[in-house]
Amino acid sequence: MDQLLDKVRGPELVVQFQRLCGLSRLCEDKPAPPHSPEAGRQAQPVPTPRLHTPACRGNHTNPEHNGTVSGVPVPRQKYKIENYFLYYLFLFAATLGQEVFYITFLPFCYWNIDPYVARRVINIWAIVMYIGQASKDVLKWPRPPSPPVVKLEVRVDAEYGMPSTHAMAATAIPFSFLLASMNRYKYPCELGLLLALAICTLVSLSRIYTGMHTVLDVLCGVAITALLVTVSYPFWDAVETFQMKNRFAPLLALSLPLMLSIYYPELDHWSTARGDTTNIVSAGGGAALATWINHQWELIPEPVSAPPYPIPSLSIGLICRMCARFAIGIIIVFIARQVIKSVALILVCRVAGVSPRDQEARKLLRVEVPYKYITYSCLGVVGLAGCPAVHRYLSL
């Protein structure tokens, strides 16, 4: 059993999977010939060397962190791609666990599919992601070392690896979507199950392909999320009823994300984990506040008949309205994000007594958490309450 755990936790399976998919390292002492098919586009360096810096308080005590030595630039890697289809497929799948996906797909579901379903997906997503991100900084298991693994991402490499939050999100979002919609709409549940499995599998494999997680990281991420979704499912209706009708719901929606972010597990070095987690739980809190606002002011009409509902056929008019709602909503969210983020950063830095231009100061807890909390709490309200109001005003 110990040997099996060591194997799924080690980098060997990651390297084997990368080679199976046509991705391998090029040794520095044996570069590919300049005119060979392995050179040129197939020998691509990681864009910039990476430097692990200590947190604002404390230094590294472990000489090895995520395969690199603290404070030492990671050497540039050269790698060979033999299967470009899998390369771009897995890179695309990896984006399904990043902000660009969350900030587009979740609002799209709310604006164009069903707020009922979207609210449940957002609640589960926020809970699962906080548990996953916090677990990383409690367990402190390193990511696969490079070499021998080829790492295709740089931004999140300073984070720890166990569990894979990409795998958790890829399990939480499609399966909570399936559970929330299968009794509400008339469609083949088997087809929805296959689609959810395909998304979960593709994103999970992408984390191994990109060299960011071991097999054990991914398996634990999927298993933890499956357990959380199963245990929480009977309480989804009660949670939504509380969010809509309880007079203390707005207070909880605003205070809980802030407290969770402030008391996030202490970091032994700075990484994007705390900031990204603050973004997620704050957006979830803003969405919960928007749920209360929409219900209290009756801004979101509820269906008159009882479920299950037939899925409407896609007509040209419906597609045009969906595209218009999405385009207008995303423009509003993007503009609001830029404006709120800039204003919040200036105000928080002024209160903290630091310069907004100081990149290191932005990593301080008293700066990073408040300005991200303000930004994404407001975005949750703008996206789920403000944008639907604009859509109704424009008769969309």
Q: Which domain holds residue 22?
A: 2-304+315-393
Residues known to be catalytic: 166, 213
Residue pair 308/183 in contact (Cβ under 8 Å)? The answer is: yes
Q: How far apart are CA 172 and CA 178, in angstroms?
A: 10
DSSP 250-316: HHHHHHHHHHHHHTSPPPSB--SHHHHHHHHHHHHHHHHHHHHHHHHTT-SPPPSSPSPEEPPP--H
Residue 310 lies in a domain: no
pLDDT tens sequence for the chain (396 residues)? 777 877 888 889 999 999 999 998 886 544 444 444 444 444 444 443 333 332 333 333 343 445 443 434 445 568 889 999 999 999 999 988 888 889 899 999 999 999 999 999 999 999 999 999 999 999 999 999 888 899 988 777 778 889 999 999 999 999 999 999 998 999 999 999 999 999 999 999 999 999 999 999 999 999 999 999 999 999 999 999 999 999 999 999 999 999 999 999 987 777 888 999 999 999 999 999 999 999 999 888 877 788 888 888 889 999 999 999 999 999 999 999 999 999 999 999 999 999 988 888 888 889 999 999 999 999 999 999 999 999 999 998
Model pTM score = 0.84
Structural domain count, the chain = 1
Residue 247 lies in a domain: yes
Residue 265 lies in a domain: yes
Q: How far is CA 371 from CA 56, 130, 179, 304, 336, in A?
A: 17, 18, 34, 41, 14
Over residues 334-361, the pLDDT tens digits come to 999 999 999 999 999 999 999 988 888 8
Residue 309 lies in a domain: no
Please, what sign has the CA dihedral across residues 105, 107, 109, 113?
negative
